[in-house]
Structure 1
């Protein structure tokens, strides 16, 4: 959990405690009874009905996080619940270890001001903490999907069900992992039948009881799809979300093992697509900050491309500096797989964006037909690269149209490209126009057996994909990849497919298989090449977390040619 700005409150606590009658007379404080039960302080609504009032409550300590690098307080719970299911039996007391060191199982009487700290019902400042014996509180069994967590805020809970890791973006930064019931969570616009409200109710954020950023000691480094058992902790709140602070270790099982290579695809030609996540040879720009990071990034990208072993690979987010960055990648790859194994095409019109799309291929397997082409339609900020190939020796040609459509970020404040609130985020209108332009290119240039592929920045049921499908193209992954495995990107705990391959009717007859190699979206970002925050021992020069997008691979069975 991130650090809380409470220095002023801590000062009030010190002053109040030094003036507290209980602190002045340690022999009698336990004789002063509670003025309210915890349930009365919590109330039956979103906020305490006693806000601003000084109260004295009694309970048993269920979670001790008093250190200043933790939450600077502890959780206490009434062992005798009231009869109202809408009222929680737990509270958080903002009382640092320097004020009163309590431990789990202590029966305490706590005096403090009832408050809502950014939506979290707690006592702050605390003016007296009196340990008056011991007690016990059993963790309350709780099941997801949640019917609403407010009635159990600050309580000790246990989840008897298996829960799936659905998000780990802040695992290294803040020690956070999101779990979900009924398997992983998917983007509502990626596939039919996904309910955004149910996604929320199925989710539970697991925190580490800490205010540290980039802690030296991490929770278990898990992949999405792994399964947690025996989840038990106290339910806090902060930064707009309920947060379970574990009170005992969570048992994670590896239910989504890494594949050292992608599932085999069938065919005599393999085509792939990979977003490189800003492969730059210019240091300190979008990619690596220094030479060592660049070496680490390059090693991971080479491992990924080597594992794909495709005959042609569409690449996104390569630095737009002529052939420099692209050739450096090809040279490093060929150093591993053999001189001359891969060659890079030259983009005839890469555009003015900092990044470009690119295409590498095996000259021993494929022969380019004609020169590379590109669209100069101003609708494209990153113009597509177009190349027709046939197998070495001839045979049926096919045409790759490599794309990186407009991203969903940096939203305009108005107009058709503003976020329309339909789940497709911003710039959707532009992406639809780009999809229409791609269909026009295919038709106007009479491209043989087109395959439109790359990072289209649109999930499977969004308008740009619908536009391409309505124009006669078919999603290869929708046809060949089972729905539970059909994702290439993870955002805000929701998996979905941003990277696509759509083919024309005639080429569809020649597609014999397809797969997505889950080497990136399932991996936490602390396994990438960056050095500034990531624990040094986690880096490996392998394919895992070589990017934030998973590569996809398509198998084609084309007549004619050889090899």
Structure 2
């Protein structure tokens, strides 16, 4: 009797739910997709049929069996279930659910490209058979947004594609690919606001697509797309792809870049198009000067109770947060510095707490290379500023001799004071100045600020960086008078690409871009899938004839992040049992590539 009552109650509930439910319209997938970015049936309840093409961990893609023959409407759609589905590719299914336009992020670009999907669904398997036949499409499309016409469809992308970003590979299982080779930052080639810069930005947007592992899981295990040697470098290549197109985040950030994505049906096979440079080019002159952004080298660990920076606050702590992470970071940096074999090195993003962090690196280098191989310049006259990080300089006493103490430019315009040292080598006196201009992040909150993002590609704080460039020029003149040496080499991270206003201010007023002399498309950093040089070497006219080589050693920007020293975001969640990709080598010792300049003194 009890079972009968339970059955009657369940039947009554189902009957009431069915009576209250909105009746669904029977339509085809192309009718749901429509010809625009948004479905004409958005918000409605529909019933449709199709064949499963690809299964994700939260749903599946399905495709109309015949299509409507209209190139402007997609024959595929995503069915979001919120859990691992029980269907398999080739299943013919009937789906009842609501039409939703999913916007992964709040930007105007994301709002203009919502992802059409079915939600709150009921799925019935009707039969099983072969998977849909992929549609061969041309890539890149003729115009940005043309992939909307194949959203949710199984497609084949013929031709060669190049890895142009691997930042999110270990964390979210994503690679950014591009047709026609590596994507270069427009302002590394053309002046901000120019027609050429705008055209290259539009071309880059058309040429890129994100290869996604089809899962929302973080830190996938194993890491997908192992490539040659167990990792995929920017510049590596893949020939033809088969998968399903959708639109979503590149990464999983709340305000991340959104792109068209392809979920592969078969594992892509990557080939090495950008071999690792195991060693930097051999020095060509009498003296090698280098610059290296260390990505926050702190010997004070970032953990409870720590005091960092001049403010003696944990808020200023960065870098390693355990002894193991610090050892791993230190090992990689020392490997890189030792291989650079430079006579003078400007170091950036060093803990600003006396000279302790720098001396720690010097001790590690001397343990590796021999006692007294390297030394650090003194803390500068004028102070190291109030920022949590500072610039520093190390040198080889057997090769160069500091003349007097180092000097800083601590004027308020600089977030981190310039650091300068006069040096003598083979009887010739010269000045090396290390600069680290204001970064583009953390935009000012004041509306209408000149330091806001003006939409020209130069990012925030551009006016501040221009003022810092102008102050740098006056400091160079002061150093020449102080030292009696005319030769000047300015090195460091200017947080601006070669054709941005701060760098142009310097090169239009007597300094020569030495990296550009030897490399037509230099880069030291990869951001949002585009490569460009933030790390520069500029000399005055009296020194440049003696410079015989300059460039970047590409050990970091092209490497996936999961190779670095950090223990966070490793697979699986158990850190101690994680399969670790870390190696005690120079690769991914930082997020910037170091630069070198070779000078012939004789």
Fold shared by both chains (TM-score > 0.5)? yes
Structure 2 segments unaligned to the other structure (5+ residues): 1-9, 19-23, 104-113, 191-195, 226-230, 250-257, 303-316, 572-578
Relative to structure 1, is the Cα distance of residues 424 and 112 closer, same or farther in structure 2, using a 3 angstrom cutoff?
same
Alignment root-mean-square deviation, CA: 2.1
Match of 1:341 among 373, 376, 393: 373
- Partner of residue 303, structure 1: 335
Task: Tell me the SS of whatever aligns to 1:430.
Answer: helix
Aligned pair 1:357/2:391, yes or no?
yes
- Partner of residue 216, structure 2: 211
- Partner of residue 33, structure 2: 42
- Partner of residue 180, structure 1: 178
Q: Which moved more, 1:345-354 or 1:307-316?
A: 345-354
Task: Kindly provide the CA deviation profile for residues 129-183 of structure 1, in whole angstroms up to 9, marking residues without a partner as x.
Answer: 2323424422112222223211100000111111111111111111111101111
**Do 2:87 and 2:125's aligned partners in 1 also have CA atoms closer than 8 Å?**
no
- Partner of residue 494, structure 1: 530
Q: Cα distance, 1:369 vs. partner?
A: 2.0
CA distance in 2, matches of 1:144, 1:227: 15
CA distance in 1, matches of 2:421, 2:596: 18
Aligned pair 1:462/2:500, yes or no?
yes
Task: Tell me the SS of whatever aligns to 1:543.
Answer: coil
Task: Tell me the SS of whatever aligns to 2:262.
Answer: strand
- Partner of residue 64, structure 1: 55
CA distance in 2, matches of 1:287, 1:116: 40
CA distance in 1, matches of 2:284, 2:128: 70
- Partner of residue 108, structure 2: none
- Partner of residue 122, structure 1: 117
Task: Tell me the SS of whatever aligns to 2:580.
Answer: helix
CA distance in 1, matches of 2:135, 2:300: 55
Match of 1:165 among 163, 166, 169: 163
Q: Cα distance, 1:488 vs. partner?
A: 0.2
CA distance in 1, matches of 2:551, 2:212: 34
Q: How does 1:469-508 map to 2 (within 5 A)?
A: 469-483=507-521, 486-508=522-544
Q: Cα distance, 1:231 vs. partner?
A: 1.4
Q: Cα distance, 1:94 vs. partner?
A: 2.1
- Partner of residue 234, structure 1: 244
Task: Tell me the SS of whatever aligns to 1:431.
Answer: helix
Match of 1:144 among 131, 139, 147: 139
**Do 2:431 and 2:479's aligned partners in 1 also have CA atoms closer than 8 Å?**
no
**Do 1:102 and 1:131's aligned partners in 2 also have CA atoms closer than 8 Å?**
no
CA distance in 2, matches of 1:425, 1:558: 39
Q: Cα distance, 1:19 vs. partner?
A: 4.8
**Do 1:262 and 1:515's aligned partners in 2 also have CA atoms closer than 8 Å?**
no
CA distance in 2, matches of 1:385, 1:282: 23
Q: Cα distance, 1:225 vs. partner?
A: 0.5
Runs of 4+ more than 4 Å apart = 18-21
Aligned pair 1:554/2:593, yes or no?
no
Q: Cα distance, 1:95 vs. partner?
A: 3.6
Q: Cα distance, 1:434 vs. partner?
A: 0.9
Structure 1 segments unaligned to the other structure (5+ residues): 1-14, 24-32
CA distance in 2, matches of 1:445, 1:297: 34
- Partner of residue 42, structure 2: 51
Task: Kindly provide the CA deviation profile for residues 486-521 of structure 1, in whole angstroms up to 9, marking residues without a partner as x.
Answer: 100111111110000000101001001112100000
**Do 2:29 and 2:76's aligned partners in 1 also have CA atoms closer than 8 Å?**
yes
**Do 2:298 and 2:318's aligned partners in 1 also have CA atoms closer than 8 Å?**
yes
Q: Which moved more, 1:271-280 or 1:74-83?
A: 74-83
Aligned pair 1:327/2:359, yes or no?
yes
**Do 1:87 and 1:152's aligned partners in 2 also have CA atoms closer than 8 Å?**
yes
CA distance in 1, matches of 2:555, 2:272: 15
**Do 1:449 and 1:507's aligned partners in 2 also have CA atoms closer than 8 Å?**
yes
Q: How does 1:46-445 map to 2 (within 5 A)?
A: 46-65=37-56, 70=57, 72-95=58-81, 101-118=86-103, 119-146=114-141, 147=143, 148-192=146-190, 193-194=196-197, 195-220=200-225, 221-239=231-249, 240-284=258-302, 285-348=317-380, 349-391=383-425, 394-413=426-445, 414=447, 415-445=449-479
**Do 1:265 and 1:553's aligned partners in 2 also have CA atoms closer than 8 Å?**
no
Task: Tell me the SS of whatever aligns to 2:273.
Answer: coil
Task: Tell me the SS of whatever aligns to 2:159.
Answer: coil
**Do 2:378 and 2:405's aligned partners in 1 also have CA atoms closer than 8 Å?**
no
**Do 1:20 and 1:128's aligned partners in 2 also have CA atoms closer than 8 Å?**
no
Q: Which moved more, 1:143-152 or 1:505-514?
A: 143-152
**Do 2:93 and 2:123's aligned partners in 1 also have CA atoms closer than 8 Å?**
no
**Do 1:59 and 1:78's aligned partners in 2 also have CA atoms closer than 8 Å?**
yes
Q: Cα distance, 1:425 vs. partner?
A: 0.6
**Do 2:346 and 2:492's aligned partners in 1 also have CA atoms closer than 8 Å?**
yes
CA distance in 2, matches of 1:250, 1:120: 24
- Partner of residue 10, structure 1: none
CA distance in 1, matches of 2:43, 2:237: 42
CA distance in 1, matches of 2:430, 2:242: 55
Task: Tell me the SS of whatever aligns to 2:284.
Answer: coil
